Amino acid sequence: MDDDLGAARALLSTRRLVVLDLDGPLTRLLPGQEYLRVTAGALELALSLGLEPDDDLGTETDHVQLLRLVAERDPDAGRVVERWCTEREVAAAAGALLVPGAEAFVVTCLDRGAAVAVVTNNAPEAAAAVLATGGPVLAGLPVHGRDPERPEHLKPSPHPLLAAAEGAGVAPADAVMVGDSPSDVHAATAAGMPCIGLSPDSGRRAELRAVGAVAAAPNLAVLRPGPV
């Protein structure tokens, strides 16, 4: 644990860009079992549009990855499901809470001269609504979110991370991502960007290390980097 924190803080103290996943590191957009209810609703809608059920659709628990599967099978149905998901995400954003220490973490990164960007598979307007609750520092962060017309760009695609690096004028190798899912780690690896895993659960942290995270920590508060 201490070695992990040391490695993570070293990365955060030297990289020119810190890329933060939204759902998990910064907030819980669909807490508790709500994400399962949204996924079930998205599946029901997709089936009502004529999609044939299969094992992949029926076992997916992440509504965003379900959306990707729907769009692969039927782009028109994918657009309808995407709009439906966006409505649910924006509604959820109205009650979402930022994690303790989110603003302090971002301020510390900015104060030492690093850029900070947010990437998410959720709708960018939902992400912006959550960040706006954290005041001007968080509200001003660039967000690289879901493009309704390009579901193939959803993580684990590296596209949003590469877009964040390009927007900041930073090479991916000079950035670091903080994410809480294997898809975050895979996206960062594909982008050529080291990834720090984040989860309060020790088993999840071990899983994130196993798929390539360079370190893992329980929350943002313990990761606050010091000066270069």
For every one of its 228 residues, what pLDDT tens digit does the chain have, with 9 covering 90 and above? Answer: 556 888 999 999 999 999 999 999 999 999 989 999 999 999 999 999 999 999 999 999 999 999 999 999 999 999 999 999 999 999 999 999 999 999 999 999 999 999 999 999 999 999 999 999 998 999 999 999 999 999 999 999 999 999 999 999 999 999 999 999 999 999 999 999 999 999 999 999 999 999 999 999 999 999 985 543
* Residue 134 identity: G
Tokens of 15: 């990289």
Residues 151-193 have pLDDT tens digits of: 999 999 999 999 999 999 999 999 999 999 999 999 999 999 9
- State the Rg of the chain over Cα: 17
Pairing assessment for the beta strands 195-198 and 115-119 based on DSSP bridges: unpaired
Coil, strand, or helix at residue 3? helix
Ordered domains of the chain (ranges, CATH): 2-28+97-223 (3.40.50.1000), 34-93 (no CATH)
Q: How far apart are CA 214 and CA 197, in angstroms?
A: 8
What pTM did the predictor assign? 0.93
Residues 130-148 have pLDDT tens digits of: 999 998 999 999 999 999 9
Q: How far apart are CA 77 and CA 217, in angstroms?
A: 39
Pairing assessment for the beta strands 143-144 and 115-119 based on DSSP bridges: parallel
